[in-house]
């Protein structure tokens, strides 16, 4: 089993990715609001450190917030299918700012339900 994390800076693509997951029989995912460190520093009120103000000018308001999608997948074939869905959907984005994906091996999954 693997956990696939998709950090999506281009949040307009979120619904398309989730729809693509459903079409590919990927039945569950969790979406959380997220913010990268660079964006957090650039949008902070810390004026005491000159580096932050220069960093703020470079980044501006581009992608201040992201969405992080994560899903637990049964095998590598499902991981590849999910990665292909995301890549196909964001293929038209120029540059490297769309986000990134990574996997983490999952040892065990414990459902949380009452014993009956």
pLDDT band at 52 (very low <50, low <70, confident <90, very high): low
Burial tier of 60 (Cβ tally within 10 Å: 0-12, 13-18, 19+): exposed
Q: How much is the pLDDT for 86? A: 95
Q: What is the count of structural domains for the chain?
A: 1
Q: How much is the pLDDT for 92? A: 84
What are the respective helix, strand and coil percentages of the chain, to the nearest 5? Answer: 35, 25, 40
Distance CA 75, CA 97 (A): 28
Host domain of residue 19: 2-35+65-105
Q: Quick check: is 111 in a domain?
A: no
Distance CA 67, CA 47 (A): 27
Q: Quick check: is 59 in a domain?
A: no
Q: Quick check: is 92 in a domain?
A: yes
90: CATH: 3.30.70.120
CA 39 to chain centroid:
15
Q: Quick check: is 6 in a domain?
A: yes
The torsion angles phi and psi of 88, rounded to 5 degrees, stand at -65, -40
Q: Quick check: is 13 in a domain?
A: yes
Q: Quick check: is 29 in a domain?
A: yes
**Who wins on pLDDT, 77 or 35?**
77
Q: Quick check: is 58 in a domain?
A: no
Secondary structure letter of residue 12 according to DSSP: G
pLDDT band at 89 (very low <50, low <70, confident <90, very high): very high
Q: Quick check: is 69 in a domain?
A: yes
Token representation of residue 106: 């999952």
Residue 43 has pLDDT above 70, yes or no: no
Residue 61 has pLDDT above 60, yes or no: no
Global pTM value: 0.77
| pLDDT cut 90: percent of the chain above it | 51
Q: How many helices (H) and strands (E) does the chain have?
A: 4, 4
**Who wins on pLDDT, 45 or 23?**
23
pLDDT band at 27 (very low <50, low <70, confident <90, very high): confident
């Amino acid at each position: 089993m693997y956990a696939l994390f998709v950090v999506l800076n281009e949040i307009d693509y979120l619904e398309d990715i989730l729809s693509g997951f459903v079409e590919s029989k990927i039945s569950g995912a969790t979406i959380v609001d997220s913010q990268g460190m660079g964006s957090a520093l650039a949008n902070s009120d810390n004026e005491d450190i000159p580096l932050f103000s220069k960093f703020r000018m470079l980044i501006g308001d581009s992608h201040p917030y992201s969405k992080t999608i994560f899903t637990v997948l049964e095998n590598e074939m499902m991981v590849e299918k999910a990665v292909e869905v995301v890549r196909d959907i964001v293929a038209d984005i120029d540059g490297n700012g769309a986000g990134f994906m990574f996997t983490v091996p999952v040892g065990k999954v414990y459902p949380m339900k009452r014993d009956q």
